[in-house]
Structure 1
Amino acid sequence: MASFVRGLVAQAERLVSRLFRGEHGEGPSSYLEAPHTEKLLERGEGGGLRYGLGAMQGWRAHMEDAHTAQPQLPGGPAGWAFFAVYDGHAGSTVAQFCARHLLGEVVADEAFAAEPEAPEAVKEAVRQGFLRIDRHMQALAQAEGWEPAGSTAVAVLVSPRHLYFINLGDSRALLCRAGRLTFYTEDHKPSRPQERARIENAGGTVTLHRLNGSLAVSRALGDFAYKAVAWRGPTEQLVSPEPEVYELARCPDEDEFLVLACDGVWEAFDTEGLCAFVRSRLLLTDDPLAVCQQVLDAGLYKGSRDNMTCMVVSFPGAPGPSATALRRERELDAHLERRVAELYAEQQEQGAVSLVAVFQCLVSEGTPGLPPGGGLASKRAVVIEAYERLQQHCKPQTSGPSGSSAPC
């Protein structure tokens, strides 16, 4: 590609990102001037489950997310799996430690050796595993001088008969069953009445929806500066390490997929929107990894400024590629390409060609048939590729002493 086209595209990408973010000023020092868009990608399968994982640093100065994906518990009972996303803050130490060791703490309990499965015992084993690893990390943090980091955690423990949703903080997991959003976890925010009561009982305050005006979550692993109230137990501190665990019976004929994602993804998607977007993409590809990549790309252009990690876990009942969906997607892409060409020609006549202006027109006119939940941001590659082709075909040519560009 010619250098002038590369420069134009790079500038346009930055401006388009701002357009989708709705921001115009410079960010704080914890953000980069341009996002890191390289992705950590992972896929796997086992026990009838298939998963894909994508993680992107994005606009943040550092990557603080981590994850665990075990489609078959190592050394555990057959048919059990564990998937988790950890969103670190103030450093990645806690998130990385949990990715390596939390599962071991959870499955060490005898509840996982029992037959038949006892759901209440499993839920208590999960709870105790979280409390144990938090105590262990606190001792290590004091002995080794860890950074003052913390991490949220969202996980799904899959058994042959149940799904256990495990939530601590503001990462989130959802279940799509029979084509609908059936369940999702609820964020632990300081302004929730139960969370506010615990915080105030421990001597803290909730200001601007933040704990002591600073921390945006009320439950997390680590964050030991908020767990130093001597007259309160570990689950009664300003920040609690106790997860909420929800149990759902599996429906093999109806369960389609799980999505686990950190709050960077939820900055760009609401829960129903992400469920709909993922399902629409699974109608185009049977590869959950490809879907995760599309979630990250769309999330970046829908406005996320945070690290993003997304995991999609497909059950045997997940939707597969549909001829109708594929045809509609081709028609949508063709429509966007035609519209870009029309807008490009109109701009040439006016003497000013701009990719940002093309996006603004497309946003304002409301293109029909865009992916649910993803919108135009999820099709930005189609728009940019169409624009680049026009740029290559219509390279500027000087005409006389004015140096004006000649039209195509």
Structure 2
Amino acid sequence: MEDKVRCFLERFVEEFPAALDEGSPLPVSSLSCKVSLEELHGESLELGLRLLAARGAPAGLGTLLCQAALSQLLQDDLSPFHCSQEAEANQEEEQQVVLLHSEAVQRLFLNKLIDVAMAWHKNLPKLPPSPSRFLHCSVHAIKNTRRKMEDKHLALTEFNQLFGIQDGEERSYFAVFDGHGGVDAATYAATHLHVALSKQETLQSDAATAFKTAFKRTDDMFKGKAKRERLRSGTTGVAVLIQGLELTVAWLGDSQTILVRNGEAVTLMDPHKPDREDEKQRIEDLGGCITFMGCWRVNGTYAVSRAIGDFDQKPYVSGDADCSTTQLLGDEDYVLLACDGFFDTVKPSEVPHLVLDALQQPGDALLEQSEDAVGLRVVQQLVDHAKAAGSSDNITVMLVFLRPPKQLAAQGSTTGTAQATQDSTSQDAPQQ
């Protein structure tokens, strides 16, 4: 691993031998023209991770470089980057949010990233040990027949390293967001939800409460951006935090996650849909209604009952997340996260069989492939199956393997052979 790190740093400092000149274009585009101080944290990390991933940085190194660069950035005086304080005519907030010119401040962040990389190239610090739990994430996402791709996702196996958390508890974070009315809300949630989660004091003691607060904070932050930039989009989302031996799921809307344990699907959540009885009652108690217009919709508009964004239909479309926590026993196979483009045509109970079919290859083909290749083939086949079954929506499928994919394939083959033998014996037994 250390050799890969040194090799990457060598290539990186060759590409960026000096700080970026003022006024020069950024090597990677920033997400916004203007960014608030609170948004700067998430947008800088997203920018840095995207830059490093595009150049093949080892994942653990990328998170450490970004964390170090951001820590330096936040210690600087950022007032030279402030936008003018002229209030817009439609501004109703009592105190105007301080905004910064994004490109200029992100150039400073990237220069700090370059400085850290140069320093580590000369004298590499001791890197933290790899996580003790096996985690391997594979993702496949397609636009399908839709005009635009409005899904976003994030896999962050080095959660603690990205935020400088050193409490001895291993954490990994995974999320899928399904945008509607544009991709802005989904992009925002994928950029900021995990940052808001990292700041919660209850993270270690009560991850569910931390998640609920983080979802609410992200929704409130997006409300400010939507108002400033006249955005109207929304997004459902499902996020998973694996913290020690605890798996916490938080969700808004109809994106879903399931856990597969010993080849059996375990229900972790109940998606929020307008026709779900308790959601229907909540909306009607607020004075809203559920109507059928091709599908069930809130007040004849949105086909989701909870989401980040969709402020023209708040509070009927709620921004309050639900959570569930499951203890990991050591016999878990994987966690699957996907948007409704997948689950509209695939039942959760079908997933274990579909994954096993995708894992198994004839002869020695499986042995010759890397875990990355095996995992990618599985998620691609899952997406292809959902599309063939009639899904026309954007489809995103994320598989977080808690055991090596090849091991699951071997176990599935053994189980299948044993089951076939048992079935054959039962058929051959004399009738009583």
The TM-score bracket by the shorter chain reads 0.5 to 0.7
SS at match of 1:111: coil
User: Which residue of the partner structure matches residue 257 of structure 1?
Assistant: 334
2:409 is equivalent to residue 321 of structure 1 = yes
1:279 Cα shift?
3.1
User: Which residue of the partner structure matches residue 29 of structure 2?
Assistant: none
User: Which residue of the partner structure matches residue 99 of structure 1?
Assistant: 190
SS at match of 2:258: strand
Amino acid at match of 1:321: A
User: Which residue of the partner structure matches residue 247 of structure 2?
Assistant: 163
SS at match of 2:143: strand
2:391 is equivalent to residue 304 of structure 1 = yes
1:149 Cα shift?
0.5
1:9-43 CA-to-partner distances (Å, cap 9, x unmatched) read: xxxxxxxxxxxxxxxxxxxxxxxxxxxxxxxxx99
Aligned pairs for 1:117-156 (under 5 A) are 117-118=204-205, 121-146=206-231, 148-156=232-240
User: Which residue of the partner structure matches residue 390 of structure 1?
Assistant: none
SS at match of 2:202: helix
State the distance in 2 between where 1:291 and 1:264 align: 17
Alignment check: 8 A CA contact 1:82 1:156 kept? yes
State the distance in 2 between where 1:320 and 1:274 align: 14
Gaps of 5+ in 1: 1-41, 228-236, 329-408
State the distance in 1 between where 2:408 and 2:154 align: 25
1:346-400 CA-to-partner distances (Å, cap 9, x unmatched) read: xxxxxxxxxxxxxxxxxxxxxxxxxxxxxxxxxxxxxxxxxxxxxxxxxxxxxxx
User: Which residue of the partner structure matches residue 76 of structure 1?
Assistant: 165
Amino acid at match of 2:399: V
1:320 Cα shift?
3.0
Amino acid at match of 2:218: I
Alignment check: 8 A CA contact 1:44 1:51 kept? no
Alignment check: 8 A CA contact 2:139 2:397 kept? yes
State the distance in 1 between where 2:59 and 2:298 align: 38
State the distance in 2 between where 1:269 and 1:315 align: 22
1:317 Cα shift?
6.6
2:260 is equivalent to residue 176 of structure 1 = yes
State the distance in 2 between where 1:82 and 1:324 align: 27
State the distance in 2 between where 1:273 and 1:216 align: 25
Q: State which of 135, 141, 164 in structure 2 corresponds to 1:55.
A: 141
1:92-127 CA-to-partner distances (Å, cap 9, x unmatched) read: 000001111110001111223xxxx42xx2211110
Aligned pairs for 1:263-278 (under 5 A) are 263-278=340-355
Aligned pairs for 1:222-261 (under 5 A) are 222-227=309-314, 237-252=315-330, 254-261=331-338
2:307 is equivalent to residue 216 of structure 1 = no
State the distance in 1 between where 2:156 and 2:333 align: 18
Gaps of 5+ in 2: 1-55, 61-129, 417-432
Moved more, 270-279 or 66-75: 270-279
Amino acid at match of 1:298: H
1:178 Cα shift?
1.3
1:145 Cα shift?
1.4
State the distance in 2 between where 1:93 and 1:258 align: 27
State the distance in 2 between where 1:169 and 1:138 align: 18
Quick one: structure 1 residues 212 and 324, their matched pair in 2 at CA, closer, same or farther if it must change by over 3 Å?
Answer: closer
Alignment check: 8 A CA contact 2:333 2:408 kept? no
SS at match of 1:322: helix
Runs (4+) off by over 6 Å: 42-46
Alignment check: 8 A CA contact 1:255 1:317 kept? no
Question: What root-mean-square deviation, in Å, do the aligned CA atoms of Structure 1 and Structure 2 show?
Answer: 2.4
1:324 Cα shift?
8.3
SS at match of 1:218: coil
User: Which residue of the partner structure matches residue 21 of structure 2?
Assistant: none
Paired residues, number: 270
User: Which residue of the partner structure matches residue 110 of structure 1?
Assistant: 201
User: Which residue of the partner structure matches residue 66 of structure 1?
Assistant: 152
1:152-174 CA-to-partner distances (Å, cap 9, x unmatched) read: 00111101120001111001100
Moved more, 195-204 or 315-324: 315-324
User: Which residue of the partner structure matches residue 291 of structure 1?
Assistant: 378
Aligned pairs for 1:319-358 (under 5 A) are 319-322=407-410, 325=413
Q: Which has the higher strand share?
A: 1
> What's the TM-score once normalised by structure 1's chain length?
0.62
1:48-83 CA-to-partner distances (Å, cap 9, x unmatched) read: 200101000000000000011001202335520000
Quick one: structure 1 residues 110 and 302, their matched pair in 2 at CA, closer, same or farther if it must change by over 3 Å?
Answer: same
State the distance in 2 between where 1:320 and 1:131 align: 37
1:275 Cα shift?
3.0
1:259 Cα shift?
0.4
1:261 Cα shift?
0.4
Quick one: structure 1 residues 101 and 57, their matched pair in 2 at CA, closer, same or farther if it must change by over 3 Å?
Answer: same
State the distance in 1 between where 2:156 and 2:308 align: 21
Identical counterparts, % of pairs: 32
Amino acid at match of 1:164: T
Amino acid at match of 1:123: A
State the distance in 1 between where 2:241 and 2:412 align: 34
SS at match of 2:408: coil
Alignment check: 8 A CA contact 1:174 1:275 kept? no
SS at match of 1:190: coil
Quick one: structure 1 residues 275 and 184, their matched pair in 2 at CA, closer, same or farther if it must change by over 3 Å?
Answer: farther
1:323 Cα shift?
9.4
SS at match of 2:302: coil
Amino acid at match of 1:61: R
SS at match of 1:170: coil
